[in-house]
Structure 1
Amino acid sequence: MSASTRIDFLYLSEPDMIRAGVTDMPACVDTMEEMFGLLWRGDYRMAGANNDSHGAMIMFPENSPFPTMPKPTPDRRLMAMPAYLGGRFCTAGVKWYGSNIANREKGLPRSILMFTLSDADTGAPLAHMSANLLSAYRTGAIPGVGARHLARKDARVIGLSGPGVMGRTTVSAFLAVCPHIDTLKLKGRGQQNIDNFISWLAVTWPQVKNVQVVDSYEQVVRGSDIVTYCCSNPVGAPSTYPPVKREWVKPGAFLAMPSACTIDAGMEQPDVRKVLDNTGLYEAWFDESPKPAHVTIPIIGVHFMDMVAEGRLPAGQLEDIGQIVLGEAPGRRNDDEIILMSVGGMPVEDVAWGTVLYRRALEMGIGVKLNLWDTPALR
């Protein structure tokens, strides 16, 4: 007797995703920690020749003979990010990433994202879901995994540049894993964004009693136990990327950088531990980019790859958070060491959190079931 050829899949709108728990940051941090263990073991695949590529992006020319072709304006992205993740997930998926900074003039988010989750065996769709919150929370959770293992246990002060969506989710992850935090230093570009962030923080994380608005990167970093830059920045000149200088950094600080960043010679020294979310991701970025790669990919881990290529950093000094998560490398070794973690963002993260939310939605009866076909017209 042949199996049924009918294929149904679940559509999850943004309100459905919220009901399924996409904003459950503690659970998201736990899921990302589990995902990192699978990465270190090798039970995953992404795109590209080394199976570690961030994704495939459509590139638009500066001058096109076609008047309707999009221009390569800041934050213009049309990008597919596919991945497979094993373990208890054993699913595949792809995030479609559309981004244009001019969206804000239309009252839309800069990025509009959708994620399709598939059966890894047949390729049949399991779910098609709104992915703005999915992406935002999995991105913020990664620094949280780092802080769980690499921040001081008595960390009290966060220094944040960039009070946007990424700033909110990253701070949420820090607060989910560091129970003693009570102070936040905040640098932003506009008063409205700063005020909105402070209002959100007061409602969402009332244990943070002391918020200090500062106006320089130095003030963000000085005296902070945990530092993160979550601000957008033009790409192309590392000298314009938000800086970190060694003289600013408190002994024992943990720095997690999911956006553009540059460091001085002091931060390049071997006594500053350099941790990556996945070394293969940065190797893929380096291979795919003109050199020096940090010019076009502003994430600090890409700068580490440039340093390795130039002979200024032994590759063996780079560590993977997955190895630390599994206990195969030490977490924080003492209260004074400075640890800098690069956060690049990977589609395996979307697969992990998307799978958890899809299974929750099934259990809770959330979403709309859609039919692909009863019997395929072609086979």
Structure 2
Amino acid sequence: MNNNTKIDFIYLSEQDMIRAGVTDMLGCVNTMEEMFGLLYSGDYRMAGPNNDSHGAMVIFPADSPFPNMPKPTADRRMMAMPAYLGGNFCTAGVKWYGSNIANREKGLPRSILMFTLNDPDTGAPLAHMSANLLSAYRTGAIPGVGARHLARKDSKVIGLLGPGVMGKTTVAAFMAVCPQLDTLKIKGRGEKSLSTFIEWAGATYPQLKVIVVDSVEALVRDSDLVTFCNSCATGDVSAYPVVERAWVKPGAFLAMPAACNLDRGMEGDDIRKVVDNTGLYEAWHEELPKPGHRHVPLLGVRFLDMVDEGLLKSEQIEDLGKIIAGDAPARTNEEEIIVLSVGGMPVEDVAWGTVVYRNAVARNIGVKLNLWDVPVLS
């Protein structure tokens, strides 16, 4: 029996994460594709009774007698997102998610994230890492995985709503898997975010022609890949940005990791509706008041509301993991329109966090910290 009780782990700052490869988008897309295989086979666990929950969120009341208690302002989130992932990863972890849109007034990102990676047997920490880039890249990589399997191979034009962090990583993922892309249409709310994004795009992808448009319709029309990466208050579904069937070109692929609504034409049976994990949306459907789309503005939640309303059969909602595994068809012709709902899952953080952690160990990156040599209480 091994009686060595000493536990060390590494701390990885944001710069350490970069040195360990967190911004390698093609590597992240490939890792997410491997993760989907494990998701489809069932070799994973997330929170909740059905093992598919997005996480556990602290809910703050609108009126509190405690003056220091945070208010439920826009994008106010404090959330734990735990998961286990098997296969070649065989690790567990949890992302702690703190978010407040007012952070931007302080020069901070809207969200400040940390991730802890653990040995799944003992629960001992392996690493504690800065997770803003980890989360941004794994989120952007999912539309890239979708595009690899569901977009037309000759896709040339991206339409992007929301030129922020998620917009950058989603464009990076599209560029990693669709080599013929040459045009990027963007719509944003502020001049500062637009100019910052245009500067980034010019430096990172000089082959892209960047066009600023002034409407969602102009963004969607003639685009081969469409993605909404905007932030939006929940509750009023009519305020979510909408996609109308008349705007969408034949053969378009739409990847939606943010608030979105569809008109009746886009909700029709001829539009393929894919989700990144069927169980994730079923968990939300069980947890949320109805209609769920008011509370979680993602299209996959709307799809299940449509089932409740008799507008869609549950078997018409397709699973990306099943498509990747080859048990369901990918794109079947050049004309079909495919919509992918991207929900975000803690297994993605575990997958990419594990790869980055192993890179850091191999390259001697990070600061080694000691938990204990011998625990005082055991």
Q: Could you list the per-position Cα deviations for residues 40-92 of structure 1 after superposition, in whole angstroms to 9, with x for gaps in the alignment?
A: 00000000011000000000001101111000000001100000000000000
Question: 2:50 and 2:178 mapped to 1: Cα distance?
Answer: 35
The equivalent of 1:183 in structure 2 is 183
Question: 1:176 and 1:202 mapped to 2: Cα distance?
Answer: 16
- Please, which runs of 5 or more residues in structure 2 have no aligned partner? none
Provide runs of 4+ in structure 1 moved above 2 Å.
none
Q: CA deviation at 1:329?
A: 1.0
The equivalent of 2:123 in structure 1 is 123
Q: CA deviation at 1:327?
A: 1.2
The equivalent of 1:289 in structure 2 is 288
The equivalent of 2:361 in structure 1 is 362
Question: 2:2 and 2:275 mapped to 1: Cα distance?
Answer: 48
3-state secondary structure, aligned to 1:48: coil
The equivalent of 1:215 in structure 2 is 214
The equivalent of 2:159 in structure 1 is 159
The equivalent of 1:375 in structure 2 is 374
Alignment of 1:139-288 (within 5 A): 139-208=139-208, 210-288=209-287
Superposed CA RMSD in Å reads 0.7
3-state secondary structure, aligned to 2:80: strand
3-state secondary structure, aligned to 2:40: helix
Q: CA deviation at 1:310?
A: 2.0
The equivalent of 1:3 in structure 2 is 3
Q: CA deviation at 1:328?
A: 1.2
3-state secondary structure, aligned to 2:210: strand
Q: CA deviation at 1:211?
A: 1.3
Amino acid at match of 1:19: R
The equivalent of 2:327 in structure 1 is 328
Q: CA deviation at 1:207?
A: 1.7
Amino acid at match of 2:137: Y
Q: Could you list the per-position Cα deviations for residues 21-50 of structure 1 after superposition, in whole angstroms to 9, with x for gaps in the alignment?
A: 100000000000000111000000000011
TM-score by length of 1: 0.99
Question: 2:34 and 2:270 mapped to 1: Cα distance?
Answer: 28
Q: Could you list the per-position Cα deviations for residues 285-307 of structure 1 after superposition, in whole angstroms to 9, with x for gaps in the alignment?
A: 11111100000100011000101
Q: CA deviation at 1:2?
A: 3.7
Question: 2:232 and 2:214 mapped to 1: Cα distance?
Answer: 16
TM-score by length of 2: 0.99
3-state secondary structure, aligned to 2:64: coil
Question: 2:255 and 2:193 mapped to 1: Cα distance?
Answer: 21
Amino acid at match of 2:255: A
Corresponding position: 1:95 with 2:95: yes
Amino acid at match of 2:81: M
Aligned length: 378
Question: 1:328 and 1:201 mapped to 2: Cα distance?
Answer: 37
Question: 1:239 and 1:340 mapped to 2: Cα distance?
Answer: 19
The equivalent of 1:28 in structure 2 is 28
The equivalent of 1:339 in structure 2 is 338
Question: 1:137 and 1:74 mapped to 2: Cα distance?
Answer: 23
Question: 2:149 and 2:280 mapped to 1: Cα distance?
Answer: 21
3-state secondary structure, aligned to 1:322: helix
Q: CA deviation at 1:3?
A: 2.6
The equivalent of 2:301 in structure 1 is 302
Amino acid at match of 2:205: W
The equivalent of 1:73 in structure 2 is 73
